[in-house]
Every structure is written in C-alpha cells, then in structure tokens.
Amino acid sequence: MELKHLTSFISVAEQLSFVRAATELHISQPALTGQIQKLEAELGVRLLFRNHRQVKLTDAGTVFLAESRAVLARSRLAADRAQRAAKGEIGRLRLGFVSSAALEIVPGIVVGFRKKYPQVAFDLTNVRTSTQVKSLLNRSIDIGFLRLPLSNDELRITTIHREPFVVVLPQDHVLAKARQVRIAELQNEKFIAYGRRWAPGFYDSIVRLCHAAGFTPDIVQETGEMYTAISLVAAGSGIAILPQSVVLAQSKNVVMKKLPSSVAISEIAIAVRKDDSSPLTEAFVTMARDFCKKISI
C-alpha cells in the first residue's frame, strides 16, 4: 500500500467523482481507477460503490477514509519533524554547566534558544569541569559550559565568555580599603582555592598568577564551589582570587578588589565532541557564541 494510493482514494471519496478527482490529482482517469482497484484488491474489501451515475462510499470505505486521513497527516508530521531535526529546530540537548556559569550565561542562552526553537527539550545538570569532560567523552551530555584553561583532543572547545579576576577579602582585611591590589601584596596571605581536582586548569592559572608575582600561594583549603570559597573568605578563613561575576552575585560580608588590567582574565568555554556535527548542537553553539558577545568584556 502506497501513500499515493491513499491520497487518490481520499480525493475520490471527497469529490465522489473519478473525473473531478483525476483533475485534482493531475492524473488520467484510467490511472486513478487502476489505483483504486489495486487498493481494494490489496485490502480485500470494496471501498467505493460506483456506476455511471454516482460514486458512494461503502461502510468499509467510510472507516478507511478516516484512517487514511490520519495516516497521511501522520506522514506529513513525520516529514516535517525530520526536516526540522535536520535544521536543528527539534530534539533534545543534554547540557552540563559549572555553577558560576548559571547566573548570567546558561539561563540567557537556554531561554533564547527555547524561544526560537520551542520544540527543543533540555536536560540541565550542574556539574564541575572535570566531570563534564568525562561526561562529554562517554556521551552522557552533549554540551558543556566549563572553566578554562582546558585541552582535550576529542573536544571542540570555544571560548564564549571573558571577565576579570578579582581578589576577595574579608571586610576587616588590611587591604579592604585599598583602591587596587597587586598580586605581590598577597604573598603572606592564606588562600582559599577552587580545587584542582574539579578544575585543574583554573586552579593552575591562579597558581601561575602568584608565581609570576614572585611567590607560591599558601593554599589552606580547596573547595568544589566558588560560592563556598566566598563564604569561607567572609568567615575569615583566607582570601581568594575568583572571576568577578561570581563575587558580584554573592558579595555579602566580603570586599572585592580589582586586579591590574594586565593580569590574566577568567574564561568560560562551550565544549562539544569533535565527532558531533548535528545541526541541533551547531545551532546551540552558534546562539551561545552570539549571546556571550553581548556580556563579555
């Protein structure tokens, strides 16, 4: 049974005329008659009663008409969804993101993408950089928002957000009233760090900043969340060097001091597998890149 035979039958059933149906379908009347006869033979039932004066649906034909319309509607929907999937307009994306990207980056991108492609569903997971890399490689997530620096030959990594590092101090710290703080002034401080096991590249970048200033940081505590690091600073456990946006979101009981403009900046990237070239993934990466152009320094 072919879809064209269902289309021909529906046309005859609606027109109740082989002549008018043949004209509508742009085929000859004998060809149309042959299609209906073939369909009835395949089904083993008579769908239409016809003579020289009229064409009528049999009881079987009435039932088959409703089912044929449903089949054609479903086939059109299937074709439409396949075409939209090929354009990246439909499907499901599994996203991993570091918590520091959850404030102004991920929500804006997801909301914008949903607005443009309402038939795309999302699974969102707050997960650290090191875990994201594993999840991307084992295909349990499709896209990751993670902290740089990072290098992996199996991933395509695109920097989408840049912002300054700042020093986070307790309110009563001796440098709290300084207009600007130099890294070298922190050499005798105790540091709270975003742990290396969770974001090795980010951790190493902070250590390199200190080394460039002539000292090795005294890291007294590592944490898996940047917001926890800010809370520890507020409690007087030490100081921290963190991305500016993270501190702005949780600045109670701490003081934030800018570092000289020559100091390295913090970066967030979007990462996908190199073998993932699906239109849906590409459309999302493009929107993420365009969105972040508006909010990065």
Two tokens, residue 185: 């002034």
User: How would residue 123 be classed by pLDDT, with cut points 50, 70 and 90?
Assistant: very high
Same domain membership, residue 273 and residue 238:
no
What is the arithmetic mean of pLDDT over 202-228?
93
**Structurally, how many domains does the chain consist of?**
3
What is the arithmetic mean of pLDDT over 138-163?
92
User: How would residue 82 be classed by pLDDT, with cut points 50, 70 and 90?
Assistant: confident
> Residue 52 carries which side chain, given as an amino acid letter?
H
Two tokens, residue 245: 């946006």
Two tokens, residue 134: 């594993």
d(CA 110, CA 267): 19
Select from 94, 102, 95 the least CA-distant residue to 225: 102
Which of residues 230 and 265 earns the better pLDDT score? 230
Same domain membership, residue 261 and residue 166:
yes
Q: What is the pLDDT of residues 185-202, one digit of tens each?
A: 999 999 999 989 888 888
> Residue 60 carries which side chain, given as an amino acid letter?
A
Span of 68-82, 118-132, 138-152 with lowest mean pLDDT: 68-82
Same domain membership, residue 155 and residue 279:
yes
Same domain membership, residue 209 and residue 82:
no
What is the arithmetic mean of pLDDT over 218-225?
93
Same domain membership, residue 206 and residue 112:
no
Same domain membership, residue 204 and residue 144:
no
Span of 206-215, 227-236, 254-263 with lowest mean pLDDT: 254-263
- Boundary (domain end) residue, out of 49, 66, 86: 86
Same domain membership, residue 233 and residue 260:
yes
Q: What is the pLDDT of residues 30-60, one digit of tens each?
A: 898 888 888 889 889 999 988 878 889 998 8
Domain range for 225 is 162-266
Q: Is the pLDDT of residue 294 over 90?
A: no
User: How would residue 87 be classed by pLDDT, with cut points 50, 70 and 90?
Assistant: low
pLDDT at 77: 76
Q: Is the pLDDT of residue 295 over 70?
A: no
- Boundary (domain end) residue, out of 86, 108, 137: 86
Same domain membership, residue 111 and residue 254:
no
pLDDT at 50: 86
What's the Rg (C-alpha) of the chain?
32
Same domain membership, residue 112 and residue 258:
no
Q: Is the pLDDT of residue 239 over 80?
A: yes
Query: What is the DSSP track for the chain?
Result: --HHHHHHHHHHHHHT-HHHHHHHHTS-HHHHHHHHHHHHHHHTS--EEE-SS-EEE-HHHHHHHHHHHHHHHHHHHHHHHHHHHHTT-SEEEEEEE-GGGTTTTHHHHHHHHHHH-TTEEEEEEE--HHHHHHHHHTTS-SEEEEESS---TTEEEEEEEEEEEEEEEETT-TTTT-S---GGGGTTSEEEEE-TTT-HHHHHHHHHHHHHTT---EEEEEES-HHHHHHHHHTTS-BEEEEHHHHHHT-TTEEEEEPPTTSPEEEEEEEEETT---HHHHHHHHHHHHHHHTT--
Same domain membership, residue 169 and residue 139:
no
pLDDT at 169: 96
pLDDT at 89: 66
Q: What is the pLDDT of residues 245-282, one digit of tens each?
A: 888 888 888 999 988 866 778 889 999 999 988 888 99
User: How would residue 211 be classed by pLDDT, with cut points 50, 70 and 90?
Assistant: very high
- Boundary (domain end) residue, out of 86, 112, 130: 86
- CB within 8 A of 117, min separation 6: which ones? 88, 89, 90, 283
Supply angle C-alpha 62, 68, 74, rounded to 5. 145
pTM: 0.67
User: How would residue 90 be classed by pLDDT, with cut points 50, 70 and 90?
Assistant: low
pLDDT at 273: 96
d(CA 258, CA 282): 36
pLDDT at 5: 86
CATH of the domain at 13: 1.10.10.10
What is the arithmetic mean of pLDDT over 112-129?
90
Same domain membership, residue 260 and residue 168:
yes
User: How would residue 238 be classed by pLDDT, with cut points 50, 70 and 90?
Assistant: very high
CATH of the domain at 259: 3.40.190.10
Two tokens, residue 90: 């439909």
Phi, psi of 40 (to 5 degrees): -65, -40
Two tokens, residue 246: 């993270």
Same domain membership, residue 110 and residue 82:
no
| Average confidence score pLDDT of the chain | 88
